[in-house]
Every structure is written in C-alpha cells, then in structure tokens.
Amino acid sequence: MVKKQSATLVGQVDPEVLAYTAGRDVILDRELIEADCLGTAAHVVMLGRLRLKPPLLTVAEAAQVVAALRQLVTAARAGQFQIELADQDVHLAIERALTAQLGELGKRVHTGRSRNDQVALALRLWAKMQLTAVVREQADLAGVLLKLARRTARWVMVGRTHMQPAMPSSLGLWAGAHAESLMDDLGGLLQVYDLNDQSPLGAAAGYGVPLPLNRELVSNLLGFGRPPGNVLYAVTARGKIEAALLMALTQTMLSVSRLAADLVLFSMPEFGYVLWPRTLGTGSSIMPQKNNPDVCELARAKAARVCGELNTVLGVVRGLPGGYQRDVQETKEPVMRGMAETRATLRVLTRVLPDLTFDRAALARGFTPAVFATDAALERVAGGMPFREAYQQVKEQLATVGAGNPEDALAARVSRGAPGNLALEDLTARLSAARAWVRDEERALGKALRGWWGPYEPARALPLSS
C-alpha cells in the first residue's frame, strides 16, 4: 500500500527515465535523512499551531508526527531505514514511511511544501551541522601546527624562494605560516555559515502557497539565524550556496595542499627534514624498501578534486534561467563529496602530523654562505651605503661572502611576524575564538531543538561514510 502511494508520484514513469533521474539520490539522500526529519517535524509543528478551521493538523497530531520522525531517526542510525528507487528520494521515502505508520495523517505532512523547499531546507540544515564540524577539525589541524611552531620557533632552516636557498629562516616560521593560512580560511567558512543560515521552508516550489504558513516560526524551531527571505530566491539559492560552501572548502584544501607538498619534499632523503614512521607511510607491491608519504600526495590530489567539485557546481548554476530547475540536483553530490574529502583530509593530517619527526640537524644543514648574501648587503647598508649599491657589490663579490650564524640571523629578524618574532599569541587567540564559536553555535542549535524535538546530537561520522 505504501508503495502504491509513493507510486502515484512516480506514476507510470519509464524505468530508464526513472533510473536516470532518481538513481543516485537513493544513496546520497541517506545523508539527508536526519535533516529532512527535523525539517518535516518543524513544518508539522508549525502547521499544528496555525489557527485555521478546520485545522490543517492539530497540535496533538503534530506531536504524533514528531514522535514518528524521532523513531525514524533512530531507525536510520541503526541502519534500518531504506530509500528505494520507487521513492525517488528521501522526501517521498519519509512521507511513505509516515503514511505507512500514521495512515491519513501521513498524507497531511506535505501540506504547503514542495520537494523544492524541502530539499533546500534539508541541505541547509545539513550544511549548518557540517560547517561547525569542519571548523572544529580545521581548528584542530591549525592547533597542531601552532604547537609545532611554538616548539620549533628557534629551529633554523634555510628559507627558500623559487625552491632555491634564499635567507635564514626557521621551522617555526614555516609551521606558523601554514597555521595562519588555515586560520584565515576559517573566515570563509564562517561567512558561508552565515549565508547558509536561513530557512527556505514555506517557499514551496518557489512561489509560496495560498496558506498562512508561519515561516519565521519554522526558522526559529530549527535554530536558523537569519529571517526567511524571498521565496523564489529561497529555492534558486540552491546551487549558489553549494558553490559558496565549496569555495570555502577549496580555500582550506589549497592551504592543506601546500602543507602536503612541503611535507612530500621534506621527506625526500636529499632533505631528510621529516622522518616518516612506517605505520603512517605506505609500501610498494614490488619494492621492499618503500615507505611513501601517500597521505600527503592524496591530500594534494584531493584538493584538485574539491576544485573539480566546485567547478561542477559553478557550471550547473551559471546561466540557469529563473525558477527551480532539476539541474541543481547535480550539485548535491559535489557538495557532499567536497565536504567529506575536506574533513577526511583535515582529520588524517591532524592524526599524522604530530607523529612525524622533524630532524633538527638536517634542517640546520645547507646554510651555505650564499644564504647570508642579503644580510651581507644589509650590513653595508647599515654602514651607510645605498641598498642598490650594496646589493650590486655583494653580487659581484659573492665568493667573498662568509657564512653567517643562522641563530644570530634569526634573532636579528625582529619585525612583527618575522622569524625572530613570530607573534603566535595572535593565532592562539584566534584559535580559541574559533573553538568558542563552534561551541556556541552547536549549543544554540541544541537549545532551539530541545524545546520541541528533544535532545539532538548530530552524528559524528564523515558525510557519505555511513
């Protein structure tokens, strides 16, 4: 019977057409089960509070639906809720399940909704929870780097430009630079969090419905921070928000890819800066001696992948004429995959980095006199010679430049942010702020839900891994 109900929507659709249009949603939508249950619950609670005669739903009926949805979430976590091809997607699967359990009442839950606003809501709720998770994980990786920076602030190493030896530097400067890059990237994530923090429910297919739906109430029940806006934009923003989210993740992955690229280089025996434990490296099927930094290579490649996912979304969205179009369905997998790859990469690097051994002696090698050429020129400048002349003189007499003392050279670089003055307290404060933000937002969401849904704890798993 349930299937028959659901089948009324799928109707007599050609099986090839159904497979093409719905196919992968059956897998991807597992990711959205909880968000869709919460959204549906908030919607019926709101319906229940509308004072219409006859009521669309009574308060008691709404509570019944909410209870059923709570059970459904539990069932889903236990792997006992399936989305079938005939359902097309999570939305009809849930409506089917509710109708199977609650009968006629189940047929009322879609009142005033379209799948267009429903999926938009599920995606925004999903993104809201994922974003706090990724911010936490990114802060964790930044924290590892910051700790490394503190510990190695005085470990000298040759700074490079164009991969060639440039000037005296330190491992601490290197670690601090990567930490700051990740901290800066948090700004983008927070901006997307804000952009995303808006309930589309009540938009229906993008044109509202002739019912006095209380969009603000639904928004509040679900803990959204911004008031609901234009109903057409609420629907057409799908894809655009996915693009924004992938942009922020891309920035994170760009930072990570550069960290990874450095680590691959540092692990080459010609440098020997980093010793890679066997348990964290990967062997070869043919070469018995191998212990490769595959984690870093994959991190680098997954950055390319997240860029690719972003590109897909940009391509889908660009030039799309107004109103909902099915094209945006193809933004779902990219954003989920992009989130999953970014979070997995942040986690694995946070796992690996503290266990790598940085070889202080190896880092100290390679301080040829040429590395001190700029210092030599600036010594002449300190004596009064114009810089360009000093530069020219040293250039012509390069062979006579003597080796300097790397520690002294560090110590002389006293400007804010320079090797002798890393100013890490700033990053430490920003890290604390980021972590406080995560706590506050998660608490706010918990609080919003507690009053009517009960305690809700987002699942900790990576997306697409359940």
CA distance 375 to 373: 5
| Nearer to its own copies (CB atom), residue 354 or residue 454 | 354
33-92 residues near its own copies, rule: CB under 8 A: 52, 54, 56, 91-92
For 71, the token pair is 């059970």
- Least distance from its own copies to the Cβ atom of residue 340, Å: 10
What secondary structure, in 3-state letters, does 417-438 show? Answer: CCCCCCCHHHHHHHHHHHHHHH
283-312 residues near its own copies, rule: CB under 8 A: 283-295, 297-298, 300-305, 307-312
- Least distance from its own copies to the Cβ atom of residue 454, Å: 26
What secondary structure, in 3-state letters, does 40-81 show? Answer: HHHHHHHHHHCCCCCCCCCHHHHHHHHHHHHHHHHHHHCCCC
- Least distance from its own copies to the Cβ atom of residue 43, Å: 12
| Nearer to its own copies (CB atom), residue 132 or residue 257 | 257
Number of residues that bind its own copies (CB under 8 A): 195
Q: Which of 316, 353, 434, 449 binds its own copies (CB under 8 A)?
A: 316
| Nearer to its own copies (CB atom), residue 299 or residue 449 | 299
- Least distance from its own copies to the Cβ atom of residue 161, Å: 4
Window 427-466: contact mask with its own copies (x via CB under 8 A): ----------------------------------------
110-169 residues near its own copies, rule: CB under 8 A: 110-116, 118, 159-169
| Distant-in-sequence, close-in-space partners of 442: CB < 8 Å, separation ≥ 6 | 132, 458
Tell me if 244 sits within 8 A of 330, measured CB to CB. no
| Nearer to its own copies (CB atom), residue 80 or residue 285 | 285
Q: Which of 1, 60, 321, 425 binds its own copies (CB under 8 A)?
A: 321
351-410 residues near its own copies, rule: CB under 8 A: 351-352, 366, 368, 370-371, 373-378, 381-384, 386-389, 391-392, 394-395, 398, 401, 409
| Nearer to its own copies (CB atom), residue 160 or residue 435 | 160
Q: Which of 11, 79, 402, 455 binds its own copies (CB under 8 A)?
A: 11
Tell me the β-bridge partners of 160.
Answer: 165
Q: Following DSSP, what letter does each residue of 238-305 receive, concatenated? A: TTHHHHHHHHHHHHHHHHHHHHHHHHHHHTSTTT--EE--GGGSB--SS-TT--B-HHHHHHHHHHHH
- Least distance from its own copies to the Cβ atom of residue 402, Å: 13
Phi/psi of residue 445, nearest 5 degrees: -65, -45
C-alpha dihedral sign at 51, 52, 53, 59? negative
| Nearer to its own copies (CB atom), residue 75 or residue 298 | 298
Q: Which of 79, 80, 104, 402 binds its own copies (CB under 8 A)?
A: 104
Tell me if 158 sits within 8 A of 373, measured CB to CB. no
C-alpha distance from residue 420 to each of 93, 403, 410 (Å): 61, 19, 5
Parallel/antiparallel/unpaired status of strands 274-275 and 357-358: antiparallel
207-236 residues near its own copies, rule: CB under 8 A: 207-216, 227-234, 236
Tell me the β-bridge partners of 198.
Answer: 226
Parallel/antiparallel/unpaired status of strands 357-358 and 164-170: unpaired
| Nearer to its own copies (CB atom), residue 272 or residue 446 | 272
- Least distance from its own copies to the Cβ atom of residue 34, Å: 20
Q: Which of 63, 100, 348, 364 binds its own copies (CB under 8 A)?
A: 348
236-275 residues near its own copies, rule: CB under 8 A: 236-237, 240, 243-244, 247, 250-251, 253-255, 257-258, 260-262, 264-265, 267-271
Specify the residue for token string 């290579």.
Answer: 297
Tell me if 372 sits within 8 A of 401, measured CB to CB. yes
Tell me if 316 sits within 8 A of 330, measured CB to CB. yes
- Least distance from its own copies to the Cβ atom of residue 276, Å: 9
Q: Which residues are identified as catalytic? A: 162, 284
Contact between 342 and its own copies per CB under 8 A: no
- Least distance from its own copies to the Cβ atom of residue 453, Å: 22
Phi/psi of residue 3, nearest 5 degrees: -60, -35
Tell me the residue type at 455: P
Q: Which stretch binds its own copies (CB under 8 A): 37-45, 276-284, 436-444, 447-455?
A: 276-284
Helix 332-352 vs helix 294-317: crossing angle, to nearest 10: 160
Q: Which of 361, 415, 455, 457 binds its own copies (CB under 8 A)?
A: 415
Tell me the β-bridge partners of 159.
Answer: 167
| Nearer to its own copies (CB atom), residue 279 or residue 455 | 279
